[in-house]
Amino acid sequence: MKKEYPITLTIAGSDSGGGAGVQADLKTFSSLATFGTTAFTCLTAQNPDGVTGIYEISPDFVSNQLQTVSNFFPIKAAKTGMLYSKDIIKAVSSFFYDNPEIQLVLDPVMVATSGAKLLRDDAIQSLTEDLIPLAKLITPNLDEASLLLGETINQYDQLVPMAKKLFQKYNVPVLLKGGHLPNASVATDVLFDGKSIYEFSKPYLKEKHTHGTGCTYSAAITSFLAHGKSLSEAVGSAKEYLHLSLEDDIITGPTHHLNHFPDPTH
């Protein structure tokens, strides 16, 4: 019998280096047995060392991509990555306002690991007011959460109260990712859905290249939601997948990279 794959959607920028953005999302979708569709927001010239150029796609064409894909495919779950501008965010928000049945995982991509700005300053207000309220989950790292809250988060014992604070501010379930905590031996993420706290921990893998981990994590959550898992189950399964992908990393030219198709027997 032919397999039926649930449909997933990524709305994000292209990473010409292949490790993050739409490229990472599609690899993750395929690895986790969903059929990935796309709406590109930007083209970037980048590699793991940094971003050297950004070309913004017009908001009208972003809307055209979204409408054309959704007219044909029954999208179960979607994720956003690099949205870049206020006008693109408004176009994406309009789409999800009209399609509330699609489960949205919002990765609030603001700054690349290399330091390149991936969200314009005037777009942050639109992100928080127009799009975040439509999400099923937001997945900020510590730097992004600090920007969203206006206060610094750099200690383990802040994770739970700050996840709750983010929920109180935006009224949306929050996965606060603690992987950037200084000197951490364990990478702990905290999920607060408005009622319960869930913690997901894995040993911190030192000397691993982490380019694309945020994109991969949110794409994995999207995939598991598309397969019908609950929010906490989807996050837990995605955490396992990401850890295995880092553990089973592959050599890519002058560096190593997480493996989007890890060997489960590794």
Is residue 125, in this structure, part of any structural domain at all?
Answer: yes
Among the options 202, 210, 229, 252, which is catalytic?
A: 210
Domain range for 178: 7-257
Is residue 263, in this structure, part of any structural domain at all?
Answer: no
Is residue 241, in this structure, part of any structural domain at all?
Answer: yes
Active-site annotation holds for 13: no
- Read off the pLDDT of each residue in 174-195 and give the average, rounded to a whole number: 87
Among the options 27, 79, 90, 177, which is catalytic?
A: 177
- Taking only the tens place, the pLDDT of each residue in 55-78 is 999 999 999 999 999 999 999 999
State the average pLDDT for the chain.
92
Is residue 2, in this structure, part of any structural domain at all?
Answer: no
Is residue 1, in this structure, part of any structural domain at all?
Answer: no
- Taking only the tens place, the pLDDT of each residue in 129-167 is 999 999 999 999 998 999 899 998 888 888 999 999 999
Out of 12-21, 28-37, 204-213, 219-228, pick the least confident: 204-213
Active-site annotation holds for 194: no
CATH number at residue 197: 3.40.1190.20
- Report the domain count for the chain: 1
Active-site annotation holds for 115: no
Is residue 265, in this structure, part of any structural domain at all?
Answer: no
Active-site annotation holds for 42: no
Among the options 44, 215, 222, 239, which is catalytic?
A: 215
Between 113 and 61, residue with greater pLDDT: 61
> What are 63-71's contacts with CB under 8 Å, separation 24+?
63/91, 63/94, 63/95, 65/38, 65/39, 65/40, 66/9, 66/11, 66/39, 66/91, 66/92, 66/95, 67/95, 69/9, 69/37, 69/38, 69/39, 70/9, 70/95, 70/99, 70/102
Active-site annotation holds for 255: no
Is residue 262, in this structure, part of any structural domain at all?
Answer: no
Between 19 and 121, residue with greater pLDDT: 19
For residue 182, pLDDT over 90 is answered with no
